[in-house]
Amino acid sequence: MNSLFPTRRDFMNFDRNFFGDSFDHLFSSATNFDVDIKESDKEYTLEADLPGLTKEDIQLDYHNNVLSIGAKQEEGKDETDEKGNYIRRERSVRSYSRQFILKDVDEEGITAKFDNGVLTIQLPKKEVSDSTKNKIEIQ
């Protein structure tokens, strides 16, 4: 009798139970990507792994000390019979988005390149003088 009512575990595994293993790649947690950030005295270097994407799929923005990386990937598979009728037609869209706070960056000097699935962004630092700090006297 208990098997007639779905349990919480059944809902948690809905994608696997309903679609089977052939659609597992559609439900994977692919909304993030791996990023390495290195800091030196003169710049930040960010490397993001984005395999399977092209540079046209990627959007970069630096505004108010925040570096935003976004990407959108669309895939489709069509299988037809000899008459051109669909036997199977699949479409998927994946969106990737990450943001990083990187302060004191010279916005005019930012460069980026995309090679073999790796996005490399160079963010040179501004010269920051100590006079920008406001010392507050306690009374």
What is the C-alpha to C-alpha distance for residues 20 and 28, in angstroms, rounded to an integer?
Answer: 13
pLDDT per residue as tens, the chain (139 positions)? 555 555 555 555 554 445 444 444 444 444 578 999 999 999 999 999 999 899 999 999 999 999 999 999 888 777 777 887 777 778 888 888 999 999 999 999 999 999 999 999 999 999 876 655 677 889 8
pLDDT at 4: 57
**Residue 136, SS3?**
coil
Q: Are the C-beta atoms of 43 and 123 separated by less than 8 Å?
A: yes
Q: Return the residue matching tokens 């037609």.
A: 89
Determine how β-strand 118-124 pairs with β-strand 35-39.
unpaired
